Structure 1
Amino acid sequence: MQLREVRSEDLDYFFEHQQDPEANLMAAFAPRNPQDRGVFDYHWSLLLDDPATRVRTIEQDGKVAGAVVVSGIGTEPELSFWTSRDYWGQGITTSAVDALLTSFTERPLRALVPADNIGSQKILTRRGFSVVGEDKSFSNARSEVVTELVMQLG
């Protein structure tokens, strides 16, 4: 696994990953219409054009496996990640989060995780994140209000 700068061609893979209904349910906070490439491109242009946001592609065996993002740098930095379901359960997301935490040392760092997303909670807990609160937000992917855990490192 390696983290690298995002290349323009990576966006096609990120968009493809976003089409997975099961991954959208697990993430809970997917766009209202994951098939809308215009909304996707706009969202990613905001991330990539923001100098206060760090975005990295997760690459495994030469293939785009997902992305890790730290946004809100300078205010309240927030970690998020998305890995293609093809790579779940292989330790790739864990390795990517470890690599990002090594290069991004600003603390505190928070992450928001659906309360039923045990896999993401395990990754974060094992890296030292702890639950500091919870919030309820409407999930487009689930069409219901979802409890989100606010987790923090440092």
Structure 2
Amino acid sequence: MDVVLRAVHDSDLPVFFRQMNDPEAVHMAAFTAEDPADWAAFQSLWKRIRSSGAVARAILADGDVVGSASVYGEPGEREVTYWVDRAHWGRGVATAALRELLAEVPERPLYARAAADNAASRRVLEKCGFKVTAQASGFANARGAEIDEVVLTLDG
């Protein structure tokens, strides 16, 4: 499978919106929008992301948009985030996309967060060199509760 990143196009947003409304994926990600089905809030979020200086990319697998990957935040505190359509889980797409994103954004340290029980996301991050450096808890909109999360760091 050929996995590449490219700049986000307006036409990607409805695809991302559909992907980010998959109930199983939302539960796994845990830390999601308060109402993932709010199209106006979703559009507003992506407008802020695209105008903020974040590095936001669409993930393509064999030419199809299958997710997104971004680096955002202030220097020294920048975080990575990614989302891959559930139909492509377990196929190496997230790992390949994150590796490409990290090659594009050489600054370090970079941080990531994941629900503590999201072993697949932790595995992707660890394959890309991130190490668990802290544990925390936070309110997970998708689960309606405070849950444990891990903070991972990628140093230079």
TM-score by length of 2: 0.95
Which runs of no fewer than 5 residues in structure 2 stay unpaired? none
Instruction: Deviation per CA, 1:74-126: give whole Å up to 9, x if none.
Output: 24110010001011011011100011111111011100011000011011112
Structure 2 letter corresponding to 1:120: S
Asked whether 1:83 is paired with 2:78, we answer: no
The residue aligned with 2:60 is: 59
The residue aligned with 2:120 is: 119
Distance 1:2 1:73 in 2: 26
Distance 2:55 2:47 in 1: 13
Structure 2 letter corresponding to 1:28: A
The DSSP-based 3-state class of the residue aligned with 1:9 is: helix
Q: Percent identity?
A: 38
With over 3 angstroms needed to count, the CA separation of the structure-2 counterparts of 1:73 and 1:4, relative to structure 1, is: farther
Which runs of no fewer than 5 residues in structure 1 stay unpaired? none
The residue aligned with 1:98 is: 99
TM-score by length of 1: 0.96
Asked whether 1:71 is paired with 2:72, we answer: yes
Distance 1:142 1:23 in 2: 12
The structure 1 segments of at least 4 consecutive aligned residues displaced by more than 4 Å after TM superposition are: none
The DSSP-based 3-state class of the residue aligned with 1:65 is: strand
Equivalent residues in 2 for 1:4-153 (5 A)? 4-51=6-53, 53-153=54-154
